[in-house]
Amino acid sequence: MSALKLMIIVMLSGIFSVFNFASADQDFGNGADMAHLSAISEILTSPNDFMSSPVTVEGTIVKVCKKRGCWMELASDKKFQTLRIKVRDGEMVFPMTAMGKVAYATGKLTAIPLNLMQTKNYLAHIAQEQQESFDANKVTKAITVYQLSPTGVTIED
Amino acid sequence: MNKDINWFKLNRSLHRDIGYFCIGLTLIFAVSGIALNHLDDWNPNYQVTQETHLIPDINSVINQENFESWLLKKLNIKTKVKARFWQTPTEYKLFTTDNHSLLINAQNNSVVVEQVKARFLLKSLNTLHLNEIKSAWTYFSDLYAILLIYLALSALFMVRGKKGVKSLRGLLVAAGFIIPAIFMMNYSL
């Protein structure tokens, strides 16, 4: 086989992989394990009960990191409550156009206790990322951030 | 038999053909590379527009059944709501099928209409550059990287004599190593 023919085959396989991408579903990592669903409200009521083993949550995507798509927030089944799904930059990239869609995420729940200064900095950073206004004086209590580090995410269309 | 092979000519032919093959891929990685390099200055994947509207009657209508259609009509947005969410007791969020998100503040009767549009072509190029799709693209881009290594090394043997790498032009090769080395030393990488 000539070098030219070989290169044409390689090129076609590249084109094929792009077409494959065009029809790819919205699975990230291993995709979510739908068999073990837990309600976000239940998790956030007693987070310590869910720290030891992987959990799967379901919720409407209400926020996505505008810069790198490295986190998204899922709406809880309870009003005013969300759970952040956070990955290391580049590990998974959540599309901004997924807002309003339902996502399932499987992973490990982690707790990050913050002091008051860290809380203000954290919330300021989030607001800056989301291009939202933020008043540090309104933050008077330290928070513990609970987030899910997913091994698999599935976004339903 | 080996004596018949003209290595110099073969190298030039391979360099030329692989070079042709790599043009498209190089443009993809170069264009998206510039776009992604300035991530702190702009969003290379999406065009996000924001408009704020003040609609006086929101707080009196927000709990009514026809609120969503009423609001979309007021905003002249012809689309459907696909999801909704109470963010705080006074902030309600609607998401439309056309990638609008409407942040409604019932306290000050304001609506922030945000629309997200994927940047034409650039979003796809960035996705390839960052290998977000994994699968076959991983292997294909590995192959591209190997071809680039070949192009770089074979370039050393393309020209003989006065204009070859053994002339003063070798300094250009050295510069390609020295410049990143200076950055590495400067930033203790």
Interval B157-178: pLDDT, tens: 998 888 888 898 999 999 999 9
Closest CB to A17 among B50, B132, B135: B135
Instruction: Look at residue A1 and give its three-state secondary structure.
Output: coil
- Residue A124 counted as domain residue: yes
Q: ipTM beyond 0.85?
A: no
- Residue A89 counted as domain residue: yes
SS3 content of chain B, % helix, strand, coil (to 5): 50, 20, 30
Sequence-separated (6 or more) residues with CB below 8 Å from residue A47: A109, A111, A146
Q: Provide the number of structural domains found in chain A.
A: 1
DSSP H helical segments within B119-169, as ranges? 122-129, 135-155
- Residue A120 counted as domain residue: yes
Residue A113: Cβ-neighbour burial (10 angstroms; 0-12, 13-18, 19+): exposed
Higher pLDDT, B165 or B151: B151
**Token pair of B76 as six digits:** 């002249």
Nearest CA to B113 among B98, B132, B131, B134?
A: B98
The residues with which A83 forms a beta bridge, in sequence order, are: A74
Closest CB to A80 among B88, B116, B143: B88
Angle between helices B7-37 and A3-22 (to 10 degrees): 20
Sequence-separated (6 or more) residues with CB below 8 Å from residue A56: A32, A33, A34, A35, A36, A37, A38, A104, A105, A106
- Residue A46 counted as domain residue: yes
Contact state of A11 with B18 under an 8 Å Cβ cutoff: no
The answer to whether residues A75 and A60 touch, using CB atoms and an 8 Å cutoff, is yes
Confidence (pLDDT) at A4: 65
Q: What angle do CA A30, A35, A38 make, to 5 degrees?
A: 100
- Residue A10 counted as domain residue: no
- Residue A145 counted as domain residue: yes
Confidence (pLDDT) at B3: 64
Nearest chain A residue to B24 by CA: give it: A11
Q: Say which range, B12-16, B30-34, B101-105, B134-138, has the weakest mean pLDDT.
A: B134-138
Domain of residue A46 covers 26-155
- Residue A14 counted as domain residue: no
Confidence (pLDDT) at A23: 44
Partners of residue B80 in chain A, C-beta under 8 Å = none
The answer to whether residues A132 and A125 touch, using CB atoms and an 8 Å cutoff, is no
Sequence-separated (6 or more) residues with CB below 8 Å from residue B74: B53, B55
**Token pair of B141 as six digits:** 């881009």
Closest CB to B83 among A4, A18, A100: A100
Contact state of B50 with A17 under an 8 Å Cβ cutoff: no
- Residue A88 counted as domain residue: yes
Q: What CATH number does residue A94 fall under?
A: 2.40.50.140
Instruction: State the average pLDDT over residues A18-42.
Output: 77
What is the distance between the alpha carbons of residues B24 and A43, in angstroms, rounded to a whole number?
49
Query: What is the pLDDT of chain B when averaged over all its residues?
Result: 92
Instruction: State the average pLDDT over residues A110-129.
Output: 89
Sequence-separated (6 or more) residues with CB below 8 Å from residue B141: B128, B131
The residues with which B118 forms a beta bridge, in sequence order, are: B46
Nearest CA to B21 among B13, B32, B31?
A: B13
pLDDT at residue A15 is higher than 80? no
What is the distance between the alpha carbons of residues A96 and A66, in angstroms, rounded to a whole number?
7
Query: What is the pLDDT of chain A when averaged over all its residues?
Result: 86
Instruction: State the average pLDDT over residues A109-129.
Output: 89
